């Protein structure tokens, strides 16, 4: 086994953000589901990268269209001003990125930022797939899980590492081990 020591688990590049000292409060998956069931006026914010959001998202979630978590602080600056005074419930795969992301948003002047405890995977475990569309990208050999936490048919392109749906795998631009619709011709 290889163990690497890193300065940051999830790299943000902002030393002043210390989740152990300051972060947004957590809400349980059941509380979050109830908010969605009731149609509460909240901003649901996806804190993940664009290749992850293409695989699946919560109903009505705001997507930041970021390629890397380091882009998060700049991306929230582009959100509509009215979000600053609303309740924002953010989520990521397992909750780790939201520890930092919620602190960044609070520091940037958002009034009420909460994070989904356990992230998407915790939600699937407690609430199933209600209010979710698609699958959940994971950072291991499984690539993506469905709402029952079962591995899906999604694969990663060998060349560009983009996740590919079953439909994308049928594309003429997808050749196993060579290229996919995202990197074909690049």
Residues with catalytic roles = 92
Q: Which residue, among 94, 87, 48, has the nearest Cα to 71 in the 3D structure? A: 48
CA distance 6 to 25: 26
Q: What is the per-residue DSSP string for 60-88?
A: TPEE---SSGGGHHHHHTTS-GGGGGSEE
Cβ proximity of 90 and 114 under 8 Å: yes
Q: Which two tokens stand for residue 1?
A: 């086994």
Task: Give me the torsion for CA of 111, 114, 115, 120, rounded to 10°.
Answer: -110
Handedness of CA 129, 134, 136, 141 (dihedral sign): positive
- Who contacts 181 (Cβ-Cβ below 8 Å, separation ≥6)? 164, 168, 171, 173, 174
């Amino acid at each position: 086994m290889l163990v690497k020591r890193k300065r940051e688990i999830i790299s943000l590049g902002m030393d002043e953000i210390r989740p152990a000292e300051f972060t947004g409060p957590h809400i349980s998956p059941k509380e979050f589901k109830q908010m969605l069931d009731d149609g509460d006026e909240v901003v649901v914010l996806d804190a993940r990268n664009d290749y992850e959001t293409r695989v699946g998202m919560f109903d009505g979630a705001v997507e930041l269209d970021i390629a890397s978590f380091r882009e998060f602080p700049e991306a929230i600056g582009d959100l509509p001003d009215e979000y600053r005074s609303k309740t924002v419930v953010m989520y990521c795969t397992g909750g780790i990125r939201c520890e930092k992301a919620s602190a960044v948003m609070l520091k940037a002047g958002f009034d009420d930022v909460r994070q989904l405890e356990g992230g998407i995977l915790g939600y699937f475990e407690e609430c199933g797939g209600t209010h979710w569309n698609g699958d959940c990208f994971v950072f291991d050999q499984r690539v993506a899980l469905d709402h029952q936490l079962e591995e899906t048919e999604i694969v990663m392109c060998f060349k560009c590492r983009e996740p590919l749906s079953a439909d994308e795998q049928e594309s003429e631009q997808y050749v196993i081990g060579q290229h996919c619709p995202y990197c074909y011709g690049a």
